[in-house]
Chains A and B, each alone.
Chain A
């Protein structure tokens, strides 16, 4: 069986349509809304039940979680298979300790269960599989040839985002009075804390004597974090659709300084998105 499985070869049936992130970034429309002379409010804002579109926003977010779970299963499976068993110290061919493969196998088990839960939640919410587009950024992060960078990109950055998203959805389910959504999100959230902790632990173990490799891994994590802050989608502002879940991240091995850095990255991503949208809009008007 081959190693290094490219994203183009992922198995999907005709229901699933991929939309690249570049297409989203080049959209000249903006979610910014004016509400007073010289004042703008970002839309759509936090996912709260009093939003008129809250149920449909929750459906779309849940579908995003669903396709992310599929890719997380595929990514953990690749990381379990792609590397030989060894010290994992970065010398020679890519190697990982056997225990890391066991952790990835354990994660596959969790992600498969999350796929099943997501499918049942989609049915509960009235969402068809493939109703929304898929973005394959999670799996693409899992294609990094260095296993340490895979774990920081996927387990710490992306599963960390999953902690933020699941916590938001869990709170939404609680306030909306949806016991099914609340319970399912809480259940999956517990697993995500474990997955992020695996990433934190293996990062430290495999780079304890290799600070340059550790720094490369953390830099990759920052790049992924910034990309997946999605223009202010995740942040600590009151109107951020997804809030940074500091307490759960702390349980997963994030230091306070790391979370402060992540909040700053989110603010930068939001500002850059606003500038990009303005530039795209100006180009559309001119052209």
Chain B
């Protein structure tokens, strides 16, 4: 129902696996649900790595049912960085995906996308700031927290949640 080229997706994923610091021979499965135009994507399994994506997540919004290369890099790259974090003992032990709050999830996303941008990929900083503000408030404290997450490397899960909670604490009662 969509016109995605599996080989093209495979090529993007193989490059990203190497760029984000995962083992080059790590098997990664991308399971795309072509029956829906919605845009959810998540890591369904970490060992083996299985990423499930509704077709809208990788779609070019200006060319319906066609693949967006930049969009695919953005979505898959972010998720692969979260895989790297989870498999790094120094990162700590975050909750399971389904147990993350919206605030925790978006804070981690900001940390991942900031790193993806420093790898040379186009990322939309203001879009991510807007997402972060929606979960942490439209405050100076939230913007400062965003800057920390966006520009950081080698954060732990505990550090991410601390930064997130600092922003949340500044919300008006």
Contact = CB atoms under 8 A, between A and B. Distances in A.
A132 B61 contact: yes
Contacts of A284: 1
A59 B130 contact: yes
Contacts of A30: 35-37
Contacts of B105: 52
B37 A17 contact: no
Interface string B80-111: 00000000000000000000001001000000
Most buried by A among B102, B105, B134: B134
A231 to B, nearest CB: 12
A56 B34 CA distance: 21
A50 B131 CA distance: 12
Q: How large is the interface on B (under 10, 10 to 19, 20 to 34, 35 or more residues)?
A: 20 to 34
B162 interface: no
A33 B65 CA distance: 19
Nearest to B34: A29
Interface string B35-47: 1111110000000
Main secondary structure on A side of the interface with B: loop
Contacts of A19: 62-64
Contact of A123 (B35, B40, B62, B126): B126
A177 B124 contact: no
A56 B171 CA distance: 22
Contact of B137 (A44, A123, A177): A177
B102 A50 contact: yes
Contact of A124 (B55, B124, B130): B130
A24 B131 contact: no
Contact of A126 (B40, B61, B62, B127): B127
B134 A49 contact: yes
Contacts of A28: 1
Contacts of A176: 134
B65 A27 contact: yes
B134 A126 contact: no
Contacts of B134: 49, 54-55, 176-178
Interface residues of A, number: 37
A31 B38 CA distance: 7
B129 interface: yes
Interface in A152-177: 176-177
B61 A23 contact: no
Given A17-B62, A126-B124, A177 B130 contact: no
Interface string A27-70: 11111010000000001100001101111100110000000000
Most buried by A among B62, B64, B105: B62
A241 to B, nearest CB: 13
Interface of B: 1-2, 34-40, 55, 61-65, 102, 105, 124-131, 133-134, 137-138, 171
Which 4 interchain pairs have the tightest Cβ spacing?
Answer: A126-B127, A126-B126, A17-B62, A55-B131
7 contacts: A24-B64, A28-B1, A29-B37, A53-B40, A125-B126, A126-B129, A177-B134
Given A29-B35, A52-B40, 8 more contacts: A29-B55, A55-B130, A126-B127, A127-B127, A131-B61, A176-B134, A178-B133, A281-B1
